[in-house]
């Protein structure tokens, strides 16, 4: 049993729609892994405090980095990018 994943709004949806079908399939696979265990572990999932929200950066994929946060037992995807791009925190 896992958590719900929400990514159908705003920037995350727009970014995901710009990827190829193979990339979208991989992103959905990563979402499935995240929703099974979304909690910060300091290795694959690193926490960033941006008050009042704690964001998690998922870095276990060599292809993508995913920023998300938890709200009401739901994983809310904030940002998805290719691992070769800069993170939003570096911009």
- Residue 38 in domain: yes
DSSP string, the chain: ---EEE--SHHHHHHHHTS-HHHHHHHHHHHHHHHH--S--SSSEEEEEETTEEEEEE---SSEEEEEEEETTEEEEEEEEETTSPPGGG-
The pLDDT of 42-54, averaged and rounded, is 94
Instruction: Give tens-digit pLDDT for 51-70.
Output: 999 999 999 999 999 999 99
The count of domains in the chain is 1
- Residue 40 in domain: yes
- Residue 90 in domain: no
CATH number for the domain spanning 73: value is 3.30.2310.20
- Residue 43 in domain: yes
Owning domain of residue 18: 4-82
- Residue 42 in domain: yes
- Residue 87 in domain: no
Is this model's pTM higher than 0.85 or not?
no
């Amino acid at each position: 049993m896992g958590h719900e994943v929400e990514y159908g709004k705003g920037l995350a949806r727009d970014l995901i729609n710009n990827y190829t079908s193979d990339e979208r399939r991989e992103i959905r696979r990563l979402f499935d892994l995240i929703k099974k265990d979304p909690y910060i572990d300091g290795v694959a999932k690193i926490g960033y405090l941006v008050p009042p929200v704690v964001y998690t950066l998922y870095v276990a994929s060599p292809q993508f980095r995913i920023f998300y946060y938890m709200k009401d037992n739901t994983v809310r995807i904030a940002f998805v990018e290719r691992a070769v791009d800069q993170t939003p925190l570096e911009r």
